[in-house]
Amino acid sequence: MSQSLSTDVLIVGGGIAGLWLNARLRQQGFSTVLVERGSLGGGQSLKSQGIIHGGAKYALHGALTGASEAIADMPRRWREALAGNGELDLSGVRILSDAHYLWSPGTLAGNLTSFFASKAVRGRVDQVKGEQLPPALQHPKFKGKVYRLAELVLDVPSLIARLAELAGDSLLAAERIEPLQENAELCGLIIDGREIRAQRVVLSAGAGNAELLAALGVEQPAQQLRPLHMVLAKGPALKPLYAHCLGGGPKPRVTVTTHPAADGQWVWYLGGDLAEADGVARDEAAQIQAAQKEMAALLPWVDQSQTRWATLRVDRAEPAQSGLVRPDNAFLAEQQRLLVGWPTKLALAPDFADRVLATLLREHVQPASHAPLPELPRPALGQPVWEALLP
């Protein structure tokens, strides 16, 4: 068996939650090992739309929800990190759009009246017109109203690459994970046959958490998966658009983000209501047809004759909630030395790390001395989904 190791915090899962946490712990002097069995970011993180929500869309009903409150500080924290003067140095990570937009294609919908009256958005939303409109909406035929939300959109591949840099030598590519116990208590993990002792073990493996908990013989917390059927479109006529397009209901009819492909073209990535229940029930061809119809109705002036389309099925992994309600915050549960959680949103990765750090502080877990790590097999960076689906 290979040599055993010890570290302060052993993290399982190299998506945004594990990578962000890893960087913060290292910055505070903790030694860490982060285990990833696939590619870094290759779970949900690189399939996300990269929107750093501030909670505005949750106020669409006019009701102030927990989400509007908890998430409100995230854009500021991310902006500071991206400027190089925040809790992590993310300078160099590409910002795709400095704002996300709220777009009402017709007249001001009824639900918007209460939305603008709500405390969650007051002072944070401005109407934009003419040249201030997102490029895809700058057309004489465009009708409707557009509001600028103070929410960023990030290029997630460059974010994951930067966090992998901040991880230094702590990353470990491995597949098989078993519990390591002492006096019937978890004291680390056996990873591909190698014992790794740790003061705390954090499971941040997204949809993989359920299987890991089962392997460790732990029943709680339960996990829920929320399926989505996203649509991607790539073509020479597409221009950047970052917007929630509103329909009549509480959820955006379609949420569009735009991502740079390696060949210089733009890729529209379409989620929102289009990708939920009815969208999940459609097969790929029907889902593409639905998206084509939606985009033709919303942006009839865009020449789609050379656009290529694809779909992506992906589950959002979250703590189980009654009635599949969207959780409001990052979630963390503790059981002795084991911590397990889901950020529930990319934007909430800082909140997830805060919760782990608060636990370490409360439990008086301090950086200890450990032998330097040997050279470990390093997991690869995940690739953008549009490169795989629409090369």
326: DSSP letter: P
Say if residues 390 and 231 touch (Cβ distance below 8 Å).
no
Interface with ligand FAD includes 35 (CB under 6 A)? yes
Interface with ligand FAD includes 316 (CB under 6 A)? yes
Binding to ligand FAD (CB under 6 A) within 3-22 occurs at: 12-18
Of residues 53 and 77, the one with the C-beta less far from ligand FAD: 53
Question: Of residues 231, 345, 351, 356, which one binds ligand FAD by CB under 6 A?
Answer: 345
Nearest to 144 by CA among 177, 182, 103: 103
- Identity at 214, one-letter amino acid code: A
Question: Of residues 10, 11, 23, 51, which one binds ligand FAD by CB under 6 A?
Answer: 51
Binding to ligand FAD (CB under 6 A) within 251-290 occurs at: 271
Interhelix angle 16-27/349-362, nearest 10 degrees: 50
Stretch that binds ligand FAD, among 22-30, 200-208, 242-250, 283-291 (CB under 6 A): 200-208
Interface with ligand FAD includes 204 (CB under 6 A)? yes
Question: Of residues 343, 350, 376, 384, which one binds ligand FAD by CB under 6 A?
Answer: 343
Question: Of residues 8, 50, 90, 232, which one binds ligand FAD by CB under 6 A?
Answer: 50
Number of residues that bind ligand FAD (CB under 6 A): 38
Of residues 139 and 251, the one with the C-beta less far from ligand FAD: 251
Binding to ligand FAD (CB under 6 A) within 134-193 occurs at: 177
Question: Of residues 208, 235, 252, 272, which one binds ligand FAD by CB under 6 A?
Answer: 208
Of residues 66 and 106, the one with the C-beta less far from ligand FAD: 66
Q: Are strands 194-203 and 185-191 parallel, antiparallel or unpaired?
A: antiparallel
* CB-based burial label for 268 (10 Å; 0-12, 13-18, 19+): buried
For the CB of residue 286, give the shortest distance to ligand FAD in the complex, in Å. 19
For the CB of residue 241, give the shortest distance to ligand FAD in the complex, in Å. 14
How many residues does this entry show for the chain? 391
Interface with ligand FAD includes 206 (CB under 6 A)? yes
Interface with ligand FAD includes 42 (CB under 6 A)? yes
Question: Of residues 102, 172, 205, 241, which one binds ligand FAD by CB under 6 A?
Answer: 205
CB neighbours of residue 155 within 10 Å: 17
Interface with ligand FAD includes 45 (CB under 6 A)? yes
With a CB cutoff of 8 Å and minimum separation 6, the contacts of 310 are: 231, 232, 288, 389, 390
**Measured distance CA(205)–CA(75) in Å, rounded:** 24
185: DSSP letter: E
Question: What does the block give as tokens for 200?
Answer: 């705390």
Of residues 87 and 237, the one with the C-beta less far from ligand FAD: 87
Question: What does the block give as tokens for 239?
Answer: 């221009």
Helix segments in the chain, DSSP class H: 16-27, 66-70, 74-82, 110-117, 156-166, 209-215, 277-281, 284-298, 349-362, 385-389
With a CB cutoff of 8 Å and minimum separation 6, the contacts of 140 are: none
Interface with ligand FAD (CB under 6 A): 12-18, 35-38, 42-45, 47-51, 53, 177, 204-206, 208, 212, 228, 230, 271, 314, 316, 342-347
